[in-house]
């Protein structure tokens, strides 16, 4: 099957945007772990060594995080993660990453597969929801989150902290 140049370009753009979103999702995890009591409580419930993968299904476009020494670290690869969320298509990942579809609804619509213990996956998703509340403006989060979490800082401060590793 031949793919047009336009289609290839759109796929490339969606993939690059997905990489940027995953970068900020990781940074958002780090910032909220330090500054948000709810995220800290969730992550503290994970055992040391807990790992999770969020995979778009496109080569090298994934986020692999691990809890190490009460910190969240990013890995390049991992064998047998505790939780693996793998999107069935780049389009499904892109809808979530751009705030047009919530994680819960995507799960209900079977847009990704989940490997691992459901309780830990729910904890991870709760963290993702809170991180999204910090990273996305209210106009987006009101459509994708079931509840609006109480935030300890605004969106601009969150991005500044993320970029400066504060």
Residues in the chain: 166
Structural domain of 94: 14-164
Overall number of domains in the chain? 1
What is the pLDDT at residue 1? 66
Q: What's the CA gap between 163 and 140, in Å, rounded?
A: 22
Q: Is residue 2 part of a domain?
A: no
What is the pLDDT at residue 165? 83
What 3-state DSSP class applies to 86?
strand
Enter the pTM of the model.
0.89
Q: Is residue 140 part of a domain?
A: yes
Residues sharing a CB contact under 8 Å with residue 111, sequence separation 6 or more, in sequence order? 87, 88, 89, 92, 95, 96, 101
Q: Is residue 4 part of a domain?
A: no
CATH of the domain at 46: 3.30.1050.10
Residues sharing a CB contact under 8 Å with residue 140, sequence separation 6 or more, in sequence order? 99
Tens-digit pLDDT string for the chain (166 aa): 677 899 889 989 999 999 999 999 999 999 999 999 999 999 999 999 999 999 998 888 899 999 999 899 999 999 999 999 999 999 999 998 888 888 888 888 999 999 999 999 999 989 998 998 999 888 888 777 777 888 888 889 998 999 988 8
Q: Is residue 114 part of a domain?
A: yes
Q: Is residue 95 part of a domain?
A: yes
Q: What's the CA gap between 161 and 149, in Å, rounded?
A: 19
Q: Is residue 8 part of a domain?
A: no
What is the pLDDT at residue 63? 96
Q: Is residue 5 part of a domain?
A: no
DSSP assignment, residue 70?
T
Q: Is residue 1 part of a domain?
A: no
């Amino acid at each position: 099957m031949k793919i047009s140049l336009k289609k290839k370009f759109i796929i490339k753009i969606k993939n690059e945007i997905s990489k940027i979103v995953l970068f900020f999702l990781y940074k958002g995890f780090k910032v909220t772990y330090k500054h948000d009591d709810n995220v800290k409580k969730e992550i503290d419930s994970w055992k040391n060594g807990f790992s999770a993968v969020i995979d778009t299904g496109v080569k090298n476009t994934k986020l692999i995080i691990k809890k190490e020494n009460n910190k969240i670290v990013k890995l390049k690869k991992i064998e047998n993660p505790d939780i693996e969320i793998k999107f069935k298509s780049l389009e499904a990942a892109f809808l979530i990453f751009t705030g047009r579809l919530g994680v819960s609804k995507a799960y209900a619509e079977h847009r990704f597969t989940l490997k691992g213990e459901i309780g830990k996956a729910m904890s991870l998703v709760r963290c993702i929801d809170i991180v999204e509340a910090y990273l996305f403006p209210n106009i987006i989060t009101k459509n994708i989150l079931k509840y609006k979490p109480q935030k300890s800082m605004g969106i601009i401060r969150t991005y500044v902290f993320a970029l400066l590793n504060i």
